[in-house]
Amino acid sequence: QKEVEQDPGPLSVPEGAIVSLNCTYSNSAFQYFMWYRQYSRKGPELLMYTYSSGNKEDGRFTAQVDKSSKYISLFIRDSQPSDSATYLCAMKSGGGSNYKLTFGKGTLLTVNP
């Protein structure tokens, strides 16, 4: 079983839809959970991060972590064509400079006008 599983999609939705992106993980040592957004031919950029179970909101984006189920989600409300990108979940374990950062494979999202 891979440490981080992410449905690669692709996912295609109409503008204004609510989008749900998900990852599961098997390593209980993961302490820090992130979502990165990657536009075509660009490097990933950090979108949201959290280290506790529960929800964290930032504008149209909500990150949700359920440590008991080893499941994280990213919700995008009122999706826009500019949200079209690949979304990568990432998880950190360890401490100091010897942390381990594991990425999911990414989900390709297209928001159609």
Partner 1 sequence: NAGVTQTPKFQVLKTGQSMTLQCAQDMNHEYMSWYRQDPGMGLRLIHYSVGAGITDQGEVPNGYNVSRSTTEDFPLRLLSAAPSQTSVYFCASSLTGDLDEKLFFGSGTQLSVL
Residues forming the site for partner 1 (CB under 8 A): 4, 6, 8, 31-32, 41-46, 49, 51, 88, 92, 94-99, 101-106
Q: What gap in Å lies between CA 108 and CA 9, rounded to an integer?
A: 6
Please report how close the Cβ of residue 12 comes to partner 1 at its closest, in angstroms.
19
8 or 54: CB nearest partner 1: 8
45 or 57: CB nearest partner 1: 45
Tell me which residue of 58, 67, 68, 112 sits closest to 91, measured CA to CA.
67
31 or 62: CB nearest partner 1: 31
75 or 103: CB nearest partner 1: 103
- Give exposure, 7-46, as e/b (b: 16+ Cβ within 10 Å): eeeebebeeebebebbbbbeeeebebbbbbbbeeeeebee
Element (H, E) at 89: strand 85-93
Please report how close the Cβ of residue 58 comes to partner 1 at its closest, in angstroms.
14
Please report how close the Cβ of residue 113 comes to partner 1 at its closest, in angstroms.
26
